[in-house]
Amino acid sequence: MDTLLTGNANAISDESIGKIFGDNTVIIADPSVTPRKEGHIRWIPISPLDDKFTRLFLTYGFERVIFLSRYTEPGFTPTDEIYRLNAILALTKQVKLRQFIFIAPYLSEEEENSEKGIILDSIIKLLEYYRDTYNFTLKIIYCPGIVGHLHKGGFFTNLFTDLRKGRPVTLERPAGSRLMFISHEDFSTFMFRLLDDWRDVNESIHLLPSGYETTDDLISVVKSLIPDADISSAQGHPDTILDPEERIARERYGWLALNKTADMVPGLYKEFLDKEHHKLGFFERIRSKVRLPQKLLMLAELGIGTLIVELAVTISRSNVQFRLIDYRLLFIVIMSTIWGSTAGFFAATLMILSLANAYYRNGTEWVMLFYDPGNWVPFILFYITAAICGYTRQRKEDEAGFVRDENKKLETENEFVSDLYQEALQYKNEYKQNLTLSKQGFGRIFDVVTKLNQSRSELIFAESIPVIEDILDNHSVAIYTIYDSAARFARLEVASASLSKRIKKSLDLSEYTDIIDTLLKGELWINKEPQEGQPCYVAGVLSDDHVTVLIAIYNVAFSQMSAYYANLIRVLAGLLENFIVKAWQYQSAVRQREFYNGGGIMYEDYFRMQLKIQRDMSDNEITDFRLFKLDGQGKSANEWEELLRGKTRYNDSVCLGNDGNIYILATHVDEKGEEIILGRFDKAGLKCEKIEDMYPIDGTKEIESKKEESKKKES
């Protein structure tokens, strides 16, 4: 299963990522990561808010997303986390997402009504909305801060950096507050067990640190490492963090945090010192010392160049050939061409001062120098030359910079697309190999046929829901039956667990005439104007030229509104039609053997079989039923059939037990329906009670022996 890991991804070490996901393909997308690839794991420095992220997400078609909230990093307050999360969730409209895991931080009671608490509450509500709309499994893991290795922007990285530079550090929480950290080894152990024993249940799971450490313990261990450290707790009373229910992590996954924060800090500090004391090579040290900032280098060239010009002017006075060269103008041209308009302006100013000084030394008074406009001409030309050369240089530099930026952007885009293409090509080859060299594709069809090949329609309905959910990758399927062509209602037989409590138990067929007309033509009905509570697809099963079964698919993803998906539904409907019609024909043939006089009252053996099927479906949450018992009153099966006519539904099962009592199995009945049934029999003067089960089957011999004893007494 392809997995996207995003958010505060740097908090998890490479070793832990390999431990969690094994050989699964994992894409770690976050602007702070370094681009690289190791085996099935790939790091991409990209934010969910970037345009290229959509292409990345849709190319891989991620089935699992793990979002590690950056709020779990103490001292770090993100400003765009909800926008990043919303950008990812919005893409679930176009792919079939199966699992979403949100790693959320713990909040103290004081933080629940703060800005942080309000944002996190909004994030949870946003996740729940998309979960209910697009039907993926959501697990919220409340987790302390993850530590164990240093990473950019991490709590301990910033802490050690500030302390080494002599800066005072004030912790986020007051003295005595609980220290909420777990090691990345403990975190990776839990995540591995969670994914290994995955359950499609929406739930929240809490992870707690080892022992009860406080901010005072952290300050103590830091000062033992850095004696002169200026570190203190925040002012105020200790934060209150209530211990949540940790039963799921402990009992289901056998997980318990083992590493304490105080034991991890010395190793982290040693890692920090090793990185800080990393020595440069000989040439690297020379380059670091020689390298000057650009502005400082420009000023140095201006100063040295001015001295060289003055020296050249002094020397050239006795040389006729050299005096033909204007050194000052040449210097302005060189500086403005190399460094641009700013340097040219400074060079022109220096040369004007130099020229003015030369005039003065030649006997020109300062007053005459500035009052005679003829003396201004070289000054103006100096500035004009600097402006023109600087502009020309700047324009060429801007054009070259623009070309470089565009080229770099195209190279990055090309590299990104090429990588995606290679990944897609790899998947294509793997899928092709699986289809051609293995029998998984044919095996799946064989598995479907095996499950649906039953002699009882009830068994076919029981197996059809998991089969359809698996093939269509959809968990909103309902099957209704219409046993009579003149019937006004379609009765619910089975439905997905997520739908069984929300959809109607009966459909008024007068409201679905357009669907019935489409199905009678042998076509698939597609809802082109979806409304709340209406199915998106409806397929039908035909028997004797009328619709007998409705297969409704309610909630489908955007990617499932396609011709391929519609054809898949048609294939499944055809398989169901073949097996259901055969099952009904078989049941009609053996009806005399299973019903009294071929009527509507079952023999007990067949009724117990029906009851077992209903129990199995109820355990799988695809149906619900109630079992009722009527006093037999010594009446025969024919008398009871006449008496119960109009008082039971056609999909209810009625049995005359060996104990002489009548048992009624009513499907898709809740508490409200139970009251209606009991009231109906009470109004008819029949003594009816709800029971949990029939009498034990071992009691049949006792009942038969009592009947024989009574017959002997009568004789």
Q: Supply the CATH number for residue 252's domain.
A: 3.40.50.720
Provide φ and ψ at 508, rounded to 5°.
Answer: -75, 110
In a domain, 109, yes or no: yes
**Which residue blocks in 197-293 are alpha helix, DSSP H?**
215-225, 247, 261-276, 282-290
Q: Are residues 535 and 680 in the same domain?
A: no
Range 36-63 average pLDDT: 85
Q: Are residues 130 and 205 in the same domain?
A: yes
Judged by average pLDDT, the poorest of 67-71, 228-232, 541-545 is 541-545
pLDDT in tens, 344-360: 888 888 888 888 877 77
The edge-to-edge listing of strands for the beta sheet with 625-630 is: 601-602, 653-656, 662-667, 625-630, 688-691
In a domain, 631, yes or no: yes
The DSSP call for residue 210 is S
Helix, strand or coil, per DSSP, at residue 350: helix
Q: Domain containing 331: what range? A: 294-403
Supply the DSSP string of 596-620, one letter for each residue: GGGSSEEPHHHHHHHHHHHHHHHHT
Judged by average pLDDT, the poorest of 175-189, 357-371, 461-475 is 357-371
**Confidence category of residue 703, pLDDT binned at 50, 70, 90:** very low
Range 665-683 average pLDDT: 79
In a domain, 272, yes or no: no
The DSSP call for residue 595 is B
Q: Give the pLDDT score at 158.
A: 82
**Confidence category of residue 324, pLDDT binned at 50, 70, 90:** low
Q: Which CATH number does the domain housing residue 539 bear?
A: 3.30.450.40
Q: Which CATH number does the domain housing residue 640 bear?
A: 3.30.70
Q: Give the pLDDT score at 710.
A: 44
**Confidence category of residue 711, pLDDT binned at 50, 70, 90:** very low
Q: Give the pLDDT score at 438.
A: 45
pLDDT in tens, 370-393: 766 666 777 788 888 888 888 887
Q: Give the pLDDT score at 99.
A: 92
In a domain, 356, yes or no: yes
**Cβ contact 352:379 at 8 Å:** yes
The DSSP call for residue 95 is S
Query: How many other C-beta atoms are found inside a 10 Å radius of the C-beta of residue 614?
Result: 22
Q: Are residues 12 and 80 in the same domain?
A: yes
Residues 6 or more apart in contact with residue 470 via CB below 8 angstroms? none
Q: Which residue has the tokens 């355990």?
A: 619
Rounded Cα distance between 571 and 236, Å, is 68
Provide φ and ψ at 233, rounded to 5°.
Answer: -90, 165
pLDDT in tens, 288-315: 454 456 677 777 777 887 888 778 777 7
Q: Which residue has the tokens 């008819």?
A: 684
Helix, strand or coil, per DSSP, at residue 167: coil
Q: What token pair was written down for 584?
A: 């009904």
Range 206-222 average pLDDT: 86
Q: Are residues 388 and 487 in the same domain?
A: no
**Which residue blocks in 340-375 are alpha helix, DSSP H?**
341-361, 366-371
Q: Are residues 506 and 647 in the same domain?
A: no
Q: Give the pLDDT score at 542.
A: 85
Provide φ and ψ at 205, rounded to 5°.
Answer: -125, 135
Q: How many domains does the chain have?
A: 4
Residue 66 scores a pLDDT above 90:
yes
Range 135-149 average pLDDT: 87
Provide φ and ψ at 608, rounded to 5°.
Answer: -65, -35
**Cβ contact 491:651 at 8 Å:** yes
Q: Give the pLDDT score at 426.
A: 63
Q: What is the mean pLDDT of the chain?
A: 78
pLDDT in tens, 574-625: 877 877 777 676 666 666 677 887 777 888 888 888 888 788 777 777 677 8
The burial class, CB within 10 Å (0-12 / 13-18 / 19+), for 50 is: middle
Angstrom CA distances, 621 to 124, 154, 235, 554, 651, stand at 27, 46, 54, 17, 19
Q: Which residues of 62-89 are buried (b: 16+ CB within 10 A; e: fewer)?
A: bbbbbbbbbbbbbeeebeebeebbbbbb
Rounded Cα distance between 293 and 314, Å, is 32
Q: Are residues 22 and 42 in the same domain?
A: yes
Better pLDDT: 263 or 588: 263
Residue 320 scores a pLDDT above 60:
no
Which of 574, 589, 604 terminates a domain? The answer is 589
Residue 138 scores a pLDDT above 90:
yes
In a domain, 439, yes or no: no
**Confidence category of residue 700, pLDDT binned at 50, 70, 90:** very low
Q: Are residues 186 and 58 in the same domain?
A: yes
Angstrom CA distances, 72 to 145, 158, 183, stand at 5, 15, 13
**Which residue blocks in 362-497 are alpha helix, DSSP H?**
366-371, 376-437, 440-452, 457-472
Residue 441 scores a pLDDT above 50:
no
Q: Are residues 327 and 361 in the same domain?
A: yes
- The percent of residues in the chain predicted with pLDDT above 70, rounded, is 83
Query: How many other C-beta atoms are found inside a 10 Å radius of the C-beta of residue 613?
Result: 20
The DSSP call for residue 651 is T
Q: Are residues 310 and 358 in the same domain?
A: yes
Query: How many other C-beta atoms are found inside a 10 Å radius of the C-beta of residue 622?
Result: 24
Closest by alpha carbon to 69, among 98, 107, 26?
A: 107
Q: Give the pLDDT score at 448.
A: 57
Rounded Cα distance between 129 and 20, Å, is 28
- The number of helices, as runs of H, and strands, as runs of E, in the chain is 25, 23
Rounded Cα distance between 538 and 522, Å, is 11
Which of 549, 566, 589 terminates a domain? The answer is 589
Q: Give the pLDDT score at 79.
A: 75
pTM above 0.85, yes or no: no
Q: Are residues 312 and 247 in the same domain?
A: no
**C-beta contacts of 422-428 below 8 A and 24+ residues apart:** 423/59, 423/60, 424/59
Provide φ and ψ at 341, rounded to 5°.
Answer: -65, -40
Q: Are residues 140 and 11 in the same domain?
A: yes
Helix, strand or coil, per DSSP, at residue 204: strand
Residues 6 or more apart in contact with residue 325 via CB below 8 angstroms? 316
In a domain, 188, yes or no: yes
Which of 349, 372, 403 terminates a domain? The answer is 403
Range 156-177 average pLDDT: 83
What is the maximal distance between C-alpha atoms in the chain? 162
Query: How many other C-beta atoms are found inside a 10 Å radius of the C-beta of residue 92?
Result: 22
What's the angle, vertex CA 693, arms to CA 691 and CA 696, rounded to 5? 130
Judged by average pLDDT, the poorest of 34-38, 258-262, 520-524, 665-669 is 665-669
**Which residue blocks in 75-214 are alpha helix, DSSP H?**
81-90, 115-134, 155-164, 184-196
Range 222-234 average pLDDT: 85
Angstrom CA distances, 210 to 46, 186, 263, 386, 453, stand at 34, 10, 11, 70, 54
Q: Give the pLDDT score at 590.
A: 61
In a domain, 155, yes or no: no
Q: Are residues 254 and 326 in the same domain?
A: no
In a domain, 310, yes or no: yes
Q: Give the pLDDT score at 278.
A: 55
Number of residues that make up the chain: 715
